[in-house]
Amino acid sequence: MIQKFEFHETEMKGLFEITPFNAKDNRGYFTKDYSFEIFERNGIKHECAEVFYSMSKRGVIRGLHFQRVREQAKLVRCISGHIFDVVVDLRTGSPTFKKWLGFELNEDNQKEVLVPVGCAHGFLALDTAMVSYKCSVCFAPEYDDGMKWNDPDIGIDWGLERIGGADKVILSEKDSALQSFEEFTEKYGGF
């Protein structure tokens, strides 16, 4: 069975849910999750400057992350396992400013999300998961930033019951100390 690329732009401008090329047979599957030419033919400009991978245990929340300067667009895919992927619009001129959208990404559905510049990104690992990030700009640690995953002003419904509740969430020290949405807007106003 062959699945060709499909692109679905969400209500958040520039945020795409993408089904990549996937060929399955009795041996397993073969996936092509990025092609500059195919993306460009579909009206999407995404050049890949570097690629990262993360492995997360069940219950890990990574995020919500962004770079304040040298903003990165990210093509995010769950290679193995299962994640609930979240994007928050921080672009002050956007009609979806301060709104969030969530996506089920896993090895079975092979879907990926193109996170536009000016948005925060994070995910909850529902199983042990390996995630790839194809970034448009190289990581700049001096501009690395983020906001709290559970900020009440944003109000993300993470579906924590799927991991046994909020007490099962695993955070890094860095992510535990992130600013609130209010602190972010007071400091920077948004993107």
Active site residues: 65, 133
3-state DSSP assignment of residue 136: coil
Question: What amino acid is encoded at 88 in this protein?
Answer: V
My answer on whether omega of the bond before 64 falls inside 30° of 0, hence cis, is: yes
What are the contacts of 160-165 at 24+ separation with CB within 8 A?
160/124, 162/84, 162/126, 163/58, 163/59, 163/124, 163/126, 164/59
First-to-last alpha carbon distance for the chain, in angstroms, is: 42
